[in-house]
Structure 1
C-alpha cells in the first residue's frame, strides 16, 4: 500500500533528491533540463523552503512527491529567476516538484499527489493553484488541462532548453 503523507524533518532530502532525479530522467532524455533532473540536495532544500512537501512512501522508500506553497514575495528569486507575476499574486499557491518513481507510474499516484496538494491549498484559503511546465511537454500540459488547469502565459527560465507554459486552476 502506498501512503501519502506530509514531508517530515526526519525524511532524507538525499533520498528525496534521488527520487526527483530518477523521476525526471525520462524528461532529460527528451532534452528538457528541468531543475529536478540534476538539482543538488541544497536546491531541494531551497525549493522546499516555505512550502509544504508531501511524499508517497511504499515499502519504506519514497516513490512520489509534490510541494505546494503560497505566493512568492516579488523580490524573492524562484530558483535563479525573478518569479513571474502569477507566482506573486495574492491568493495563489504554487505547485512544484511533482514526481513519481518510474516503478509506480500508471497507478494514479501522480493524480493522488495533485489531489493532496490541491486540497492543502484550498484548506489554506488559496483561491487558485499555479504551476509551470515545459511548453513542448504536450503530455504533461494535457494532463494538467484535464485537471482544470488553463494556460495563462509563458516564461523563459534562465538556462532552460525550453520555454515554459504557466498554468492555473481555480480552487473554488
Structure 2
C-alpha cells in the first residue's frame, strides 16, 4: 500500500501483532481463533499462530491501524478482488465455501477483509474514517466498487456499512462444522464508488 497517512493512522508494524490478532478475531466473529486452533502445533497457543500471521501481513505493509500514541485501537485490512472467480473444488474447506462463493460475486472490487476496533473505541467515528480510507484505496487501484462480508447477526457492523452506501447483494448460510458460533448467514454488501 502506497499511502500517505496522517496521525492517528499509520501502517501496522510487526510489533502490533498481538493487537492485530485480537482485531482480526473480532472482525471474523471468532472464526480466526477457531482456524488458528486447528493450525497450532501440539502445545502451541493458537493466539501465537494468529500473531505470527498478522506480523507477516504487517511486514508486507497490508494493514492500516489507528494509534493515538498508546497502541493500536483499530485496524483495516483489505485487498483487490480480481476479475476471475476463485475455483471452489471438492477439496475446498466447507467452512470457507460460502465466504468464497460471496467473494466470487464481488469481482473487480476492493474487499474490506478486516475492519475492527476495540469495543471501548467503537462509536467514535473510527470505523467511518477507515471506510473513507478504504474508498480512497479502492479508487487508487482503479476500482469502482467496494465489497465486504458481514455476519448476519452483526447488526452494528451492518449499520455502519449501510450508512456508507453499502447494500446487500447476496447471502449464504454459515457452515459451522465444529465452530461454535451464533452466525447463521454470511451477507455480502457492496457499493459503487
TM-score over 0.5 (shorter chain):
yes
- The residue number in structure 1 matching 2:158 is 141
Q: How many Å separate the matches in 2 of 1:108 and 1:169?
A: 20
State how many pairs are aligned: 162
**1:127 aligned to 2:144?**
yes
Query: Kindly tell me: are residues 34 and 156 of structure 1, through their superposed partners in 2, closer, same or farther at Cα, counting changes over 3 Å?
Result: farther
Indicate the structure (1 or 2) with the bigger Cα radius of gyration. 2
Task: State the Cα RMSD in Å.
Answer: 3.5
- The residue number in structure 1 matching 2:135 is 118
- The residue number in structure 1 matching 2:12 is 7
Deviation, 1:19, is 4.1
Higher deviation after alignment, 125-134 or 12-21: 12-21
Gaps of 5+ in 1: none
Q: How many Å separate the matches in 2 of 1:48 and 1:86?
A: 20
Query: Kindly tell me: are residues 2 and 100 of structure 1, through their superposed partners in 2, closer, same or farther at Cα, counting changes over 3 Å?
Result: farther
TM-score (normalised: structure 1): 0.74
**1:170 aligned to 2:181?**
no
Q: How many Å separate the matches in 2 of 1:157 and 1:90?
A: 21
1:33-80: CA deviation from partner (whole Å, max 9, x where unpaired): 442566545356279599832111122311000111011660387995
Deviation, 1:137, is 2.6
**1:103 aligned to 2:120?**
yes
- The residue number in structure 1 matching 2:63 is 53
Q: How many Å separate the matches in 2 of 1:132 and 1:155?
A: 10
Deviation, 1:165, is 1.1
Aligned with residue 70 of structure 1, among 80, 83, 95:
80
- The residue number in structure 1 matching 2:42 is none
1:73-123: CA deviation from partner (whole Å, max 9, x where unpaired): 603879952412544654112102211122322321111111111211111
Query: Kindly tell me: are residues 79 and 5 of structure 1, through their superposed partners in 2, closer, same or farther at Cα, counting changes over 3 Å?
Result: farther
Contact 1:134 1:165 in 2 (8 A): yes
Gaps of 5+ in 2: 1-5, 37-46
Contact 1:74 1:88 in 2 (8 A): no
Q: How many Å separate the matches in 2 of 1:127 and 1:99?
A: 23
| SS of equivalent to 2:81 | coil
TM-score (normalised: structure 2): 0.67
